[in-house]
Amino acid sequence: MKKISRFKENSYNTTNDFDYLDQLEKYYNSSLGTNVEKLQNFSKYVPRQDLTNFIAKYELFKKILEVPGSIIECGVLFGGGLMTFAQLSAIFEHTNFIRKIIGFDTFTGFPKLSKIDKLSKSPQAKKGSFAIDSYSDLMKSISLYNSNRFLNHIDKVELIKGNAEKTIPKYVKNNPQTIISLLYLDFVLYKPTKIALEYFIPLMPKGSIIAFNLLDDAHWPSVSKALHDVIGVSDLKLQKFNFSPYTQYVIL
């Protein structure tokens, strides 16, 4: 059995899960149609779990549609999540040229792990994990996306490359106009998550949302720990969607 998906490896997965991904790869390659036709029929191929994540992002987006401010994704990886928010903005608020979709990533994977990160139960918890240099690929994706949206002479999606422990303070200093409607935290490491919370929360109005992937999960204890250390949970109304075990959020 070939392990098709490099980032799905954790103790929750069974052999069946990997078999399914193997079969899916084969099916996609041999399936009817051009690549574009396959994409236009994406529900034939996309794993249920990834559709679930997509729907969770749609549900989050609907909640901030009338809240001004940028959407920030902390931890971009291949960019599917970032571009989901970009597409939703283009579909549901095509004249809202003010809202930016901003992604922070090293684009070289995890820089280093803190003591708390090392308590992780994930095989991915090591320096250099998630090292996907998607920057130039994503720039092409953004350019194509721009060619198919309204008001495309005004930039919408921004990628901030580098260690977020440095790029977040720098971004906030250089962009004093910033207000944030949705902060999607998916660095899964302690220090950058803590810095994101410390620097971005003061820029978030009432009604804006902080969303987490992997809160309360022993694979990534740092996500909860950063939240405990910066704002604590006792006064937060943390919520989740009944269809997804992962995405948790708080409406400020």
Ligand X SMILES: C[S@@+](CC[C@H](N)C(=O)[O-])C[C@H]1O[C@@H](n2cnc3c(N)ncnc32)[C@H](O)[C@@H]1O
| Footprint on this chain of ligand X (rule: CB under 6 A) | 75-78, 80-81, 104-106, 109-111, 130, 163-165, 186-189, 192
Q: Locate tokens 């939240």: which residue?
A: 227
The answer to whether the beta carbons of residues 168 and 175 sit under 8 Å apart is: no
DSSP states of 124-162 as a string? T-STTTT----HHHHHHHHHHHHTTSTTTTS--EEEEES
Which string of b and e fits 67-87 if b means at least 16 CB within 10 Å?
bebbbbbbbbbebebbbbbbb
**In the complex, minimum distance from the CB of residue 239 to ligand X, in angstroms, rounded to a whole number:** 19
47/80 with CB nearer ligand X: 80
- Cα-Cα end-to-end distance for the chain: 46
* DSSP state letter for 44: G
- CA-to-CA dists, residue 46 to 41, 53, 56, 57, angstroms: 9, 11, 15, 16
Could you give the CA distance from residue 174 to residue 52 in angstroms, rounded to a whole number?
36
* Nearer residue to ligand X within complex by CB, 97 or 158: 158
Q: Which is nearer to ligand X, 56 or 250 (CB)?
A: 56
Residue 48 CB, nearest approach to ligand X (Å): 16
Angle between helices 135-146 and 80-92 (to 10 degrees): 10
CB of 220 to ligand X, least distance (A): 8
**C-alpha 90: how far from its chain's center?**
18
Name the residue nearer to ligand X (CB basis): 163 or 244: 163
In the complex, residue closest to ligand X by CB: 75
Half-sphere exposure of 247 (CA within 13 A, CB side): 23
Q: How far is the CB of 184 from ligand X (least distance, A)?
A: 7
Q: How far is the CB of 240 from ligand X (least distance, A)?
A: 17
Closest to ligand X by CB, 6 or 228: 6
DSSP-assigned beta bridge partners for residue 249: 211, 239
Looking at the Cβ atoms of 117 and 204, the one nearer to ligand X is 117
Name the residue nearer to ligand X (CB basis): 114 or 152. Answer: 114
CB of residue 158 to ligand X, shortest distance in Å: 14
- Smallest gap, in angstroms, from Cβ of residue 34 to ligand X? 26
